[in-house]
């Protein structure tokens, strides 16, 4: 005879278990709700390199438009208790799915066909380069790209640099998240992530034509170099998978073949290929390492006619446990288990470094070449502290050699090496620089110019447009919006109208004076130089 161990009839037992499960579920939900309200809220996610959702003031309009509901949903999602744990757990489950063949994974979505169909703009008169096109691009692209840099600027000017704000690296990696350098799939082989390449000849020809404009304007007074840097995928993707990405060397050669004879191209591809078994590219990040940049510097030295400093002469320091942009994009467990490290090299040549922030191109802030406080996931910002519109490095060499480096983030690791050989080094970020670059070159007596861009940036319209835009752009100081005035009462309406008219007249006068001062600054190299002498006081 079968024994029954349940003391209760089946229907009572079933009801009891249902009630128990419901109580447990409600307890968990209430506990999570309680923790949601009492746990401190973060403003940014370092792993995802983005600002977390906020809720704007609630009005009848936002409620009925659905905006409030959308913001609340996003806010709850971004600030859910133990969110990082659940994301990591979800990624672990995702990595366990399907069959694992040859340790290969592909993340991301295909790149847009916009680039392949993009027509090269017809050449136009140099003087017309930057009126309508510049203003449109400035408002549509540059403002968007620098939106996240406001947090960087405020934190960078702080005297306490013991830790790096997550947004300080966000503009280095803006390319990744806003369709700049890295487009398309991220290919992971074993413990290395690589961005797949999809450039084409039209893009390369357009890039070369923009550099040719610089040569046409500057002539032989300024020696121009061009360095297009390959990314890691060309060197490390297994042979049998090379069909999933386009080869980069033909693309680089296409650019070089379309340059004017007066522009010297720097062949770093072959040099990096010779050293590919060394640690010249990160595995979890889309940048090259300091060692990779050093080998490019030795190749540049040959073309520029100076002897590079031997690697063993540098003092090397290291930042450990770096998980970079490609890990942030994929959250792949293999990458997490094999973090990178960042080596950087101290410069012995005595020097002073000044950086210039957005909307303050004449206000120098004294700083240093390396942000040694940087931590993961922003460790690459140890080079030059990240991306800024302009950095100026002054040395004691007094050899009359002044060079400007026009770059995206790949140039950050390269530029410090030049301090050993030039009286002045100007580092210009093509995305954020706000002055007219041609006039800037002439005013500061710059006699050498090198473009340093990775091959993906050199095949991207966003970067090509920026390099062209900065040639003749005019800096216009931002207008701080004033609060909307209160509606005057009927008895004071006439007086309020007069006051408003007077205020507008004053604003116009002030705006005119500001514009005149800006024009005077932009046309005078002395104002740029003099501002540096007072930087210590300002700092």
pLDDT for res 523: 42
Q: What torsion, rounded to 10 degrees, do the Cα atoms 535, 314, 428, 396 define?
A: 50
The whole-number pLDDT of residue 529 equals 52
Span 399-414, pLDDT tens digits: 999 999 999 999 999 9
Q: Which residue has the higher pLDDT, 210 or 119?
A: 210
* Residue 184 and residue 110 in contact, taking contact as beta carbons nearer than 8 Å: yes
Each residue's pLDDT tens digit, 276-296: 999 999 999 999 999 999 999
What percentage of the chain has pLDDT greater than the value 90?
A: 51
Band of pLDDT at residue 48, cut at 50, 70 and 90 = low
pLDDT value of residue 505: 46
Which pLDDT tens digit goes with each residue over 357-375? 999 999 999 999 999 999 9
Whether 373 contacts 162, CB under 8 Å: yes
In this model, does residue 250 exceed pLDDT 70?
Answer: yes
With a cut of 50, say whether residue 266 has pLDDT above it. Answer: yes
Residue 99 has pLDDT above 50, yes or no: no
pLDDT given at position 93? 60
Which letter does DSSP use for residue 247 in this model? -
417: which DSSP letter?
A: G
Q: How far is CA 66 from CA 15, 60, 211, 284, in A?
A: 40, 10, 48, 39
Q: Residue 343: in which H helix or E strand, if any?
A: strand 340-346
**Mapping DSSP to helix (H, G, I), strand (E, B) and coil, where does residue 138 land?**
helix
Highest-scoring range by mean pLDDT, 52-56, 414-418, 528-532: 414-418
* Least confidently predicted of 45-59, 68-82, 251-265, 507-521: 507-521
pLDDT tens profile 221-241: 999 999 999 999 999 999 999
Place of tokens 């705006």: 511
Q: How far apart are CA 263 and CA 48, in angstroms?
A: 40
* Spatial separation of the C-alpha atoms in residues 469 and 59, rounded to whole Å: 41
Query: Which position has the higher pLDDT, 453 or 156?
Result: 453
Question: Can you give the pLDDT at residue 512?
Answer: 44
82 has pLDDT over 80: no
Residue 389: CA count within 13 A, CB half-sphere = 25
Q: What pLDDT score was predicted for residue 163?
A: 34
The more confident residue out of 284 and 47 is 284
Alpha-helical segments (H) within 428-524: 437-443, 461-469, 493-522
Q: What residues have CB less than 8 Å from 186, skipping those under 6 apart?
A: 106, 107, 108, 193, 194, 195, 196, 326, 329, 330
86 or 408, higher pLDDT? 408
Q: What is the pLDDT of residue 12?
A: 73
Higher pLDDT, 427 or 174: 427
Q: What is the pLDDT of residue 340?
A: 97
Across the chain, mean pLDDT equals: 77
CB burial string 76-101: b at 16+ within 10 A, e below: eebbeeeeeeeeeeeeeeeeeeeeee
pLDDT-derived band of residue 145, with 50, 70 and 90 as boundaries? very low
Confidence check: pLDDT of 14 > 50:
yes
Between 460 and 509, the higher pLDDT residue:
460
Note the pLDDT tens digit of each residue in 158-210.
333 333 333 333 333 333 333 333 344 889 998 999 999 988 899 999 999 99
Kindly state the percentage of the chain with pLDDT values over 70. Answer: 67
β pairing state of 192-195 and 104-108: unpaired
pLDDT at 92: 59
* Predicted pLDDT at 97: 52
């Amino acid at each position: 005879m079968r024994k029954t161990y349940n003391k209760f009839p089946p229907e009572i037992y079933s009801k009891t278990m249902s009630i128990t499960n419901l109580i447990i579920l409600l307890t968990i939900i209430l506990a999570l709700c309680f923790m949601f309200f009492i746990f401190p809220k973060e403003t940014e996610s370092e792993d995802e390199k983005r600002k977390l959702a906020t809720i704007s003031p609630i009005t009848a309009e936002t409620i009925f438009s659905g905006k409030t509901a959308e913001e609340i949903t996003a806010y709850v999602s971004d600030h859910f208790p133990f969110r990082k744990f659940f994301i990591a757990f979800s990624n672990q489950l995702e990595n366990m799915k399907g069959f694992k063949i040859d340790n290969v994974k592909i993340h991301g979505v295909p790149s847009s066909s916009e680039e392949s169909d993009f027509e090269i703009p017809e050449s136009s008169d140099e003087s017309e380069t930057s009126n309508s096109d510049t203003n449109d691009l400035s408002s549509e692209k540059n403002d968007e790209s620098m939106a996240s840099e406001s947090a960087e600027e405020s934190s960078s000017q702080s005297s306490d640099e013991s830790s790096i704000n997550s947004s300080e690296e966000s503009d280095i990696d803006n390319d990744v998240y806003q369709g700049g350098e890295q487009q398309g799939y991220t290919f992971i082989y074993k413990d290395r992530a690589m961005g797949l390449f999809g450039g084409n000849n039209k893009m390369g020809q357009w890039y070369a034509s923009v550099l040719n404009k610089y040569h046409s304007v500057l002539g032989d007074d300024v020696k121009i170099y061009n360095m297009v840097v390959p990314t890691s995928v060309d060197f490390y993707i297994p042979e049998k998978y090379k069909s999933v990405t386009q080869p980069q060397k033909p693309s680089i050669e296409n650019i070089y073949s379309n340059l004017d004879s007066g522009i010297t191209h720097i062949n770093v591809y072959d040099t990096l290929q010779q050293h590919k078994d060394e640690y010249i590219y990160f595995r979890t990040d889309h940048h090259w390492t300091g060692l990779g940049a050093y080998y490019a510097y030795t190749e540049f030295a040959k073309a520029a006619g100076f002897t590079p400093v031997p690697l063993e002469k540098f003092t090397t320091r290291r930042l450990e446990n770096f998980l970079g942009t490609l890990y942030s994009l994929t959250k792949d467990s293999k990458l997490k288990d094999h973090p990178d490290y960042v080596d950087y090299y101290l410069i012995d040549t005595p020097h002073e470094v000044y950086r210039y922030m957005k909307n303050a191109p004449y206000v120098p802030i004294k700083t240093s070449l390396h942000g040694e406080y940087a931590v993961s996931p922003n460790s690459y910002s140890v080079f030059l502290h990240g991306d800024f519109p302009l950095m100026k490095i002054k040395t004691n060499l007094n050899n009359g050699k002044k060079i400007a480096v026009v770059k995206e983030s790949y140039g950050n690791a390269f530029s410090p090496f030049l301090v050993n050989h030039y009286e002045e080094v100007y580092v210009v970020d093509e995305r954020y620089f706000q002055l007219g670059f041609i006039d800037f070159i002439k005013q500061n007596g710059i006699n050498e110019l090198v473009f340093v861009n990775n091959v993906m940036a050199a095949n991207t319209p966003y970067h090509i447009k920026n390099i062209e835009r900065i040639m003749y752009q005019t800096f216009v100081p931002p207008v701080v919006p004033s609060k909307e005035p209160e509606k005057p009462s009927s008895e004071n309406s006439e007086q309020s109208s007069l006051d408003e008219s007077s205020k507008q007249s004053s604003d116009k006068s002030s705006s005119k004076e500001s514009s005149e001062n800006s024009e005077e600054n932009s046309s005078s190299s002395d104002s740029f130089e003099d501002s540096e002498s007072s930087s210590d006081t300002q700092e």
